[in-house]
Structure 1
């Protein structure tokens, strides 16, 4: 059953350290799966590790987690070739698509090359819940800040644009993120947008940001806009702990 409205949960979290696995699913990702509203069967969750070059260990850990969570798991790899016959059809058959972090520039380039930009828009409009962390958060927006090109952060402005906002991730854990995100909005390189501390997610229904959620005490979400005088104005948002 698709979500009631086009739904995206864009996060700087959704996973955590694990005593037994490389990592384990966190509350934000469980919340994204709940948003799909699946009843009477296991939710179908597809994992994309494109931003990490479809690392096999990452994908294997996802399957371990999905087994624990009771999901029907699949993944979509693009290296060295797509692992499914029809990526579009595969995405449309999911309840939730979860995109991992890494190189957002590399992710967008590969997705566009394989026509997934159009496929994701179609899946989103059909009610497939889209979620992800870091690069898997920025990708749904118009752009944000990235270390895809090297240690010094740079803007990325060719996101999928399902959401007409910019996106800042790791706002509290990487000190260069906040000032650069603000300056890029102030000078018009990026449109107004939303940012998340680690462990925080932004819930969008359609293109409206309707709620900020946190899996970590004290972590926040922020709205950043360009003031008439050309400066950036940041507003901390109410954030619900889950």
Structure 2
């Protein structure tokens, strides 16, 4: 059941610590599922841990989360070879595609190599809701800041560009993120974009920003634009999910 418009929920969250399993599905991911409009059956959610090199533990954690949440889960892995014969059939058959964090540079390289970048665009246009955290947030944008190349953050500028903005993740928790993101927007390396504190996400319908959402109190999203004297940051009204 596709969403009624191409939809992305790009986050610095979406999973929360749990007692009996490592992670539980968080309010942001629950909301991504709600945006898909599925009713009367278990939502179909496909998980990609490409940015972790398809870490087996992370994939097991997803299935634990899916079972706990009543999700019909599947996953796409690319290491050491794709786990399905028809990646298009898998991805376009979902209600939600959920992309985990890690190396966004590695994710983008592997997706291009296997044609997943084109499939993601097709799924998005078909109404499959795209969501993800960190690398799984930046990837939908033009680019952002990344530790893919080492502990000193660097720009990434070859994102899928489904939306024409840049993206800053972990904006309040990693000290290099905010100043570098602002400087990259200020000097034109990145276009204007949206940044999220941990536990916050931003929704796009088509290519337009719609709303900022939080699964933690006192957290926010920000619009960062290029101004005459550097970057201009505007804190956005952010709705707390229950």
- Aligned equivalent of 2:105: 105
Which residue does the alignment assign to 1:240?
A: 239
8 Å CA contact retained: 1:187, 1:230: no
SS in 2 for 1:202: strand
Contact 1:196 1:220 in 2 (8 A): yes
- Correspondences of 1:1-242 after superposition (within 5 Å): 1-227=1-227, 229-242=228-241
Task: String of CA shifts for 1:36-91, please: whole Å, max 9, x gaps.
Answer: 11112111000000000111111111111111111111000000000010112210
Structure 2 distance, partners of 1:88, 1:157, is: 26
The size of the alignment, in residue pairs, is: 241
**Aligned partners of 1:186 and 1:231 also within 8 Å:** yes
The CA deviation at 1:19 is: 1.4
Identify unmatched segments of 5+ residues in structure 2: none
CA distance in 1: counterparts of 2:103 and 2:2, whole angstroms: 29
- The 3-state SS of whatever aligns with 2:190 is coil
Give the 3-state SS of the residue equivalent to 2:171 in structure 1: coil
The alpha carbon displacement at 1:230 in A equals: 4.5
Task: Give distance in 2, aligned partners of 1:5 and 1:201.
Answer: 18
TM-score w.r.t. length of structure 1: 0.98
- Structure 2 CA distance, aligned partners of 1:81 and 1:176? 35
- Which contiguous aligned blocks of 4+ residues in structure 1 show a shift greater than 3 angstroms? none
**For the Cα contact (< 8 Å) 2:24–2:68, is it kept in 1?**
no
Deviates more, 1:12-21 or 1:123-132: 12-21
SS of residue paired to 1:137:
helix
Over the residues paired in the alignment, what is the CA RMSD in angstroms? Answer: 0.6
| Matches of 1:120 and 1:230, distance apart in 2 | 37
Alignment gaps of 5+ in structure 1: none
Instruction: Decide whether the 8 Å contact of 1:145 with 1:153 is kept in 2.
Output: yes
